[in-house]
Amino acid sequence: MAAKGSSTGRKTTKSPAVKKTGSKSTKTTAAKTTAKKANTTKNTKSAPKRETTRMPESRERFGDSILDEVILIVIIVISAVVFISQITSKMGVVGQVIGGLFQGLLGISGVLLPVLVIIYCIWMLMSEERKWSLVRAFGGALFLLTVASAAYLFHPLNVSGDLGFAKKAMELFDSGSLTNGGLIGGLFGGGLFGLLDALGSVIVLLAMLVISIILATGRSFFGAMGTLADHQKVRRQVRNEKIKNKADRIRQEEKMEAARLEKQEAKRRRVMNKEDFNIELHEVEATEHPEVKETVFRQKKQDYSVKKREPIYDFVKENEMPMEEPKWDFNVVFGGKLQVDELEQGTQMPPKSTERFKVVEPLKEVAKKQEPVEMTEEEAVYEKIFGEDNTVENMAEETPEEAWDMESRAAALAAEAMRAAEEKTDFHFADLEDAEETASPEMDMPEVEEPMAEEEMPVEEVQPVAEEMPTDVPAAEPAKPEAQKETAQQPAAAPAEPAEKPYVFPPISLLGRDPGNSSGSGILEQQKNGRKLEMTLKSFGVEARVINVSAGPTVTRYEVSPSQGVKVSKIVNLADDIALNLAASGIRIEAPIPGKAAVGIEVPNKETKSVYLRTVLESDAFRKHPSKLAFALGEDITGNPIVTDIAKMPHLLIAGATGSGKSVCINTLITSILYKADPKEVKLLLVDPKVVELSVYNGIPHLLIPVVTDPKKASAALNWAVREMLERYNDFAACGVRDIKGFNAMKEEKGEPEAKMPQIVIIIDELADLMMAAPGEVEDSICRLAQMARAAGMHLIIATQRPSVDVITGVIKANIPSRLAFAVSSGIDSRTILDMVGAEKLLGKGDMLFYPSGQAKPSRIQGAFVTDKEVEQIVDFLRKSSRPGYTQEMVDQITAVAKTASGPSEETDEFFEQAVDLILEKEKASVSMLQRQFRIGYNRAARLMDELERRGLVGPEEGSKPRKVLITRAQWEEMQSPTEENA
Ligand SMILES: Nc1ncnc2c1ncn2[C@@H]1O[C@H](COP(=O)(O)OP(=O)(O)OP(=O)(O)O)[C@@H](O)[C@H]1O
């Protein structure tokens, strides 16, 4: 079909030429009887000539017409006749003549000649390349000559040497047959043999054979050899590929099998966990927010773990953190004396838990083994607070100068003992006694076991029994009941007697120790990911090398150095593709890493690791930090502890979606202060409109006033803070100093250390709630504090889960330079907090971007983790060892401020009269004008405008135009006068 089609096509293209030729021959030859035939003949003959100009493509092709095909068929038939005539005598006389002629001339080659011709013609018919080739014909002839000569050499004819050439030739011709080379073979082969003998002749003939084949086929001999080699190479490659694929398949199957097994194992573990945990719907004890409910996973009630208030955190954490079970309690309380069997006997620990209470070497001995280290004065003090050798024995050996320490630590130990007993029995000593009065350094340790033995009884029964035998408990003399929780909930009613009592730093053992078993990404995984990263970038045309890898607790950073001419933005744009190739949940790209000629690609670890607050607090960075406001933030991307100074920030904005880790961060901040600063040096003002987050701190000595939960009071507290700040400025001016440092240094010099000013940290957990309640006042106070409080030693920490512009207003943002962003839901939120995207890529659970003032770019940090339970323990300890620092007087003072602060805003805004003056002066009114003029928030300005409208002073809203002022100054004065008269 194709051949037919092409032949039709060819005919169509050829027709004009045919026509032209026809007209030309008509002109030259007058009488043409068979014009068509003549035309056709002429056409075939003259075609090559014409086609040089008109149809160059068809000139090269033989067989474009049917006639060509006919010619080829005729040639094939003639060749067949020649061939048959030579192999049989049945072709008659003609056959005999033809046979004799060909065999006489060529011998065996006479048979090969028609065969070759037939093959060639068939090839011509089949092939697309239809052109006669002289070279091929020559190659064929050479081949026949070679064969004939070879036949002569192998089968020489016996020709008499005496004959002349003509006779000799006749004889060769006559004796030509299928077994020899005939006349031509005899002449050429004979000549060759005569000249080169047998070997030389064979070599020449072989050479001729190769040349003839090359010429006839048109294929290069060496090319063919090369192709053969290539074919073999390709075949080998294919075979290798197949083997590789098979290996890959097997590996894949193995992987899938491993994944399946892992899944099964995980399922099994989940089932086991489910058996261990009950799901309870826990209603938080906040009566003001009865709708607040959380689903928590709690360990099944065990006789030793029943407690009224359980911390709320997810069960994974509970599993991960062995500190939940007070291994360290026993170290500290019993100084390593208590043995496992005693414990088991006394506490009825379940077998799983007792593993953790292994025999602990007495700490004193451990201390002895340690090499004496030279300590600075500060470290020595620190060691007293943080060291684990604060056992009773050690305390007994202490000098009288350290008596305060002994006393306070005795209180601490008593508190520990009580807490341990409480944990075991659900019995709260706080309900019965005053820990301070009963603390005694000479505690009789074994007695401690007795209340624990009560554990064997059902929990319900423990309480009455405990009440009946208070003397059984070492630090449990009957005392006036002091309801600590009531203190927490009704702070104003907690008058604190001003008792001069030194602050006892909470022991570090109250915080859980890092078990150190979980790891970040392994080295192998890092190498694999590094290679994948390079390959991925390469596949997108980015030449880059991974030059360094830093593995942090939750993410691993690959430092990629791009080649010359690669745009950094190109790598940044590939973030999603890289995440896809590394099968990562999401990656963040830091381009470039500040101070390095590399781009940081942060990939989440498959296994994340919690950063324990204790680890950071025990680090030199925290211990040796000179500031009392050192904040143990967490660990950076390389796993180094990060400690920052709140005093330098000087104010901090913390924002992040719900559940991202803000509250834990605030807890670590407060805990850092509790471990670093005496209440005389640092005071806290905690504002918690959410009620549940910070109320736990009620009763600690650092608090200026009890935790403020009422938004109205919060705004009053901020007003108080502003006044305090201004008073401090007055004091500075009076003393001729510039800031709190100068003031305190001066007082120290004068020998009046008690007159020193404490630094104040104001912490607001959830700004959004405050902004809703009293937007204008809160914004005003925050701004004034943020602008001026630094020198006065007052610092603001503001947290919010709503990073929107109506909460974090431009004014607030402009005045709070340091930012801490936790995971947020969108790039827009990230921009609101950090002025750049990135926080939306964070992983949650304490993964944060810390952007302090003065730093070029935010740095990624995994926040330290402190559990609610640990916080409770620390607070319990502080409550028992010291008194709250606030007085009723102070609380009353703030309440009074609250009244005045809420007074005018409830009725008429304090700016009302000034607003009237302003609109009368400008003869127009708009909310933005009021905002600008009085520096108040939108809500307050809008309320002011509503009030103006209600009183008929301004007209209604007119879209974007300012409102009309409906009265004149004279009218307003008239309106005012009767009021004044009444007044
Ligand atoms: N640094 C951390 N390390 C490990 N896990 C953490 C860390 N911070 C928080 N988490 C986990 O995240 C959970 C939620 O944290 P947190 O309560 O602080 O969130 P939040 O941002 O305060 O939420 P909300 O705004 O709703 O109060 C915690 O219960 C804890 O399991």
pLDDT at 26 over 70: no
Helix, strand, coil proportions of the chain in percent (round to 5)? 55, 10, 30
608 marked as part of a ligand binding site: no
Q: What is the C-alpha separation between 528 and 520, in angstroms, rounded?
A: 15
* Cβ pair 878, 700 in contact under 8 A: yes
User: Is residue 801 domain-shared with residue 723, that is, in the same domain?
Assistant: yes
- Specify whether 721 is located in the same domain as 855: yes
Half-sphere exposure of 912 (CA within 13 A, CB side): 18
ipTM over 0.95: yes
Q: Output the pLDDT for position 64.
A: 60
Angle at 749 between CA 745 and CA 750, to 5 degrees: 120
Q: Which secondary-structure segment (H or E) carries 668?
A: helix 662-676
Q: Considering the domain boundaries, does residue 973 fall inside one?
A: yes
Element containing residue 799 per DSSP (H, E)? strand 794-800
Dihedral sign from CA coordinates of 220, 221, 225, 226? negative
Does the Cβ of 495 fall within 6 Å of ligand 1?
no
CATH number where 667 lies? 3.40.50.300
**pLDDT at residue 471 is higher than 60:** no
Q: Is 610 annotated as a binding residue?
A: no
Choose among 33, 113, 16, 124: nearest CA to 70: 124
CB of 658 within 6 A of ligand 1: the answer is yes
N-terminal to C-terminal alpha carbon distance within the chain: 116
CB atoms within 10 A of CB 506: 24
Q: Do both 840 and 960 map to the same domain?
A: no
In a domain, 49, yes or no: no
**12 annotated binding-site participant:** no
Residues 544 and 656 in one domain: no
One domain for residues 129 and 145: yes
Across the range 411-428, mean pLDDT stands at 47
Residue 491 lies in a domain: no
d(CA 737, CA 669): 29
* Residue 586 and residue 648 in one domain: no
Instruction: Work out whether the CA dihedral 161, 164, 166, 170 comes out positive or negative.
Output: negative
Per-residue pLDDT reduced to its tens digit, 226-246: 767 777 888 888 888 888 888
506 DSSP 8-state letter: P
Q: Is residue 818 part of a domain?
A: yes
Going by the DSSP 8-state scheme, the letter that residue 592 receives in this structure is S
Tell me whether residue 659 is annotated as binding: yes
Please indicate, yes or no, whether residues 704 and 848 belong to a single structural domain of this protein.
yes
Q: Is 22 annotated as a binding residue?
A: no
And the tokens for 621?
A: 């960075």
Same domain, 702 and 845: yes
Which region, left, alpha or beta, applies to residue 549 given φ > 0 means left and ψ of -120 to 50 means alpha? beta
Q: What is the 8-class DSSP label of residue 460? A: H
> In DSSP terms, which residues pair with 295 in a beta bridge?
281
Across 285-299, 668-682, 816-830, 878-892, least confident range:
285-299
**Distance (Å) from CA 584 to ligand 1 centroid:** 22
- The count of domains in the chain is 5
Closest-CA residue, ligand 1 atom 24, reads 658
Q: How far apart are CA 875 and CA 699, in angstroms?
A: 8
Between the CA of 884 and the centroid of ligand 1 the distance, in Å, is: 28
Nearest to 724 by CA among 894, 883, 889: 894
For residue 372, give the DSSP letter. Answer: P
Q: Can you tell me the mean pLDDT for 841-850?
A: 89
Out of 85-94, 369-378, 436-445, give the one with best mean pLDDT: 85-94
- What is the distance between the alpha carbons of residues 290 and 144, in angstroms, rounded to a whole number? 111
Q: Using CA positions, which residue lies closest to atom 5 of ligand 1?
A: 845
- Cα 44 to Cα 41: distance, rounded to the nearest angstrom: 5
Say if ligand 1 is within 6 A of residue 863 CB: yes
With a 6 A CB cut-off, is 107 part of the ligand 1 pocket?
no
Whether residue 707 is contained in a domain is answered as: yes
961 bridge partner residues: 958
662 lines ligand 1 (CB under 6 A): yes
- The minimum-distance atom of ligand 1 relative to the CA of 664 is 18
For residue 288, being part of any structural domain is answered with no
Q: Where residue 397 falls among pLDDT bands split at 50, 70, 90?
A: very low
State if residue 865 touches ligand 1 by the CB under 6 angstroms criterion: yes
Nearest one of 490, 623, 574 to 891, comparing CA atoms:
490
Q: pLDDT at position 849, please? A: 92
Report whether 615 belongs to an annotated binding site.
no
313 lines ligand 1 (CB under 6 A): yes
Domain boundary among the residues 171, 195, 219 is at: 219
Residue partners of 584: CB distance under 8 A and separation at least 6:
578, 603, 604
Would you state the pLDDT for residue 763?
Answer: 93
Per-residue burial over 478-488, b = 16 or more CB atoms within 10 Å of its CB, e = otherwise: eeeebebbebb
Q: Which 3-state string (H, E, C) describes 864-915?
A: EECCHHHHHHHHHHHHHHCCCCCCHHHHHHHHHHHHHHHHHHHCCCCCHHHH
Distance 864 CA to ligand 1 centre (A): 11
Name the range with the highest mean pLDDT among 213-222, 278-287, 397-406, 587-596.
587-596
Q: Say if residue 800 is in the same domain as residue 845.
A: yes
How far is ligand 1, taken at its centre, from the CA of residue 546, in Å?
A: 33
What's 929's domain CATH number? 1.10.10.10
Question: Are the CB atoms for 651 and 818 separated by under 8 Å?
Answer: yes
660 lines ligand 1 (CB under 6 A): yes
* pLDDT one-digit tens code per residue, 104-113: 888 888 888 9
Atom of ligand 1 minimally distant from the CA of 661: 18
Q: In the numeric block, which tokens belong to residue 46?
A: 């003259």
Contact 694, 688 (CB under 8 A): yes
Cβ(190)–Cβ(154) below 8 Å: no
Is 722 within the bounds of a domain? yes
User: Which of 653, 664, 691, 694, when mutated, tests ligand 1's pocket best, judged by the most ligand atoms within 8 Å of its CB?
Assistant: 664
Q: Give the whole-angstrom CA distance, residue 406 versus residue 392.
A: 9
Would the CB of 846 count as within 6 Å of ligand 1?
yes
| Closest ligand 1 atom to 864 CA | 1
Domain of 394, in residue numbers: 325-482
661 lines ligand 1 (CB under 6 A): yes
- Using CA positions, which residue lies closest to atom 18 of ligand 1? 661
At 520-539, the pLDDT tens digits run 557 777 888 888 888 888 88
Shared domain check, 949 and 928? yes
Residues 440 and 541 occupy one common structural domain: no
Note whether 192 and 177 are within 8 A (CB).
no
Last residue of a domain, one of 219, 249, 269: 219
Residue 272 resides in a domain: no
Ligand 1 pocket, 664 CB below 6 A?
Answer: yes
705, 763 Cβ separation under 8 angstroms: no
591 and 651 share one domain: no
Chosen domain end from 896, 930, 953: 896
Amino acid 900: pLDDT: 45
